[in-house]
Amino acid sequence: MKKKIYLIATILLSGAVLLLSSCLKDPRYVDFSKGGTVVDFPLGGLAHFGDDAITEAPDSTGTIVRQFAVNVASPNPTTSATTLTLAVDTTIVAAYNASQTAINYLVMPAAAYSFTTTTITIPGGKLSAATSVTFHKNLLDPSKSYMLPIRITSTTAGKISGNMNIHYYHFIGNDFAGVYERYYTRWSNGDTTTAPSTPRTDLGSAVFNPVSPTEFTVQTNYYTQPNYDVTFTKTGNGASAVYSNWAIRFLPADVAPGTTWGTNITVTIPPQFLPKAFKFDPNAKYTYAQSLQLFRFYFHTATRAIIDDFVHH
């Protein structure tokens, strides 16, 4: 799904840039016409760092393809081709790590990615061109975080944007991130004492999206589909690691007052872990295999009871 979204975004960007060109000299906008021609990534820079997180599931070969656009913005239509060169700049990883302490990123191994091309040509009169990078996720350690910073290093026309010239593609290491099979059960009343109106149904794949090494989100299938936000503490590494302090809630922004959910839904029992094999103990430490059994999430509203059951692929 995300591949399609990024492809659509790339197409729409061309239209957006065309509109921008017509506004460059409009007195209602800042006059960029004096700045000359600028090349950039329309969805690049730190402002789009979150968009550069690679969270989609790989295909059957273990690869993920991200398509992205390069753009040339000019006060007047270009009359000749603009050629840009892309390169991986590993120094950006250390600089980013120094700017924050939440996640320590490793430089992505060279074998874990490949480019369609590192030389992009935007024909004269055109505003953008698309290229792609392929990630080989099966070659990465899922418990570690990696970054692949792609920079525009040269252009044959104009200048390179100072704040939108880098894509910070990254994987967040989280032991539980990835693809799960989702099973959904719904009761048409506020508890589970009667037969479910929707018996346990396989809804296909769902992705646990990492927020940090100890936090991930995944959607419920009910109503406006707010995200469950799950946090935990990891102690130790490898096969001896244990996981504790498990907590689950709805992502606050998804259920805030004024949202469709917040206006129409009253939650009478908030999300909680409801494993089948044992009773959840918030003070317990669980192995990795035991933790996977926690991902049976239950809540109920004034009129419905819901179970989202996630089974690791």
Domain positions in the chain: 2-171, 178-312
How would residue 209 be classed by pLDDT, with cut points 50, 70 and 90?
Answer: confident
How would residue 169 be classed by pLDDT, with cut points 50, 70 and 90?
Answer: very high
How would residue 35 be classed by pLDDT, with cut points 50, 70 and 90?
Answer: low
Number of H helices, E strands in the chain: 4, 18
pLDDT by residue (tens digit) across 215-257? 999 999 999 999 999 999 999 887 899 999 999 999 999 999 9
Which residue, among 131, 150, 134, has the nearest Cα to 45 in the 3D structure?
150
Query: Can you give the pTM of this predicted structure?
Result: 0.66
CATH number of 2-171, picked from 3.10.250.10, 2.60.40.1740, 3.40.50.2300, 3.30.2320.50: 2.60.40.1740
Measure Cα distances from 175 to 183, 204, 212, 234, 287 in Å.
21, 21, 10, 9, 12
Rounded Cα distance, 271 and 306, in Å: 9
Average pLDDT for 92-109: 95
Residue type, 97: N
What 3-state class would DSSP assign to 146?
A: strand
What 3-state class would DSSP assign to 200?
A: strand
Backbone phi, psi, residue 135, to 5°: -105, 135
pLDDT by residue (tens digit) across 107-139? 999 999 999 999 999 999 999 999 999 999 989
Average pLDDT, the chain: 89
How large a percentage of the chain has pLDDT more than 90? 74
Residues counted in the chain:
313
Average pLDDT for 159-182: 94
Rounded Cα distance, 295 and 185, in Å: 14
Q: Which two tokens stand for residue 48?
A: 């789009």
Average pLDDT for 18-22: 42
CB within 8 A of 197, min separation 6: which ones? 186, 187, 188
Rounded Cα distance, 171 and 228, in Å: 20
- Which of 142-146, 177-181, 242-246 is predicted most confidently? 242-246
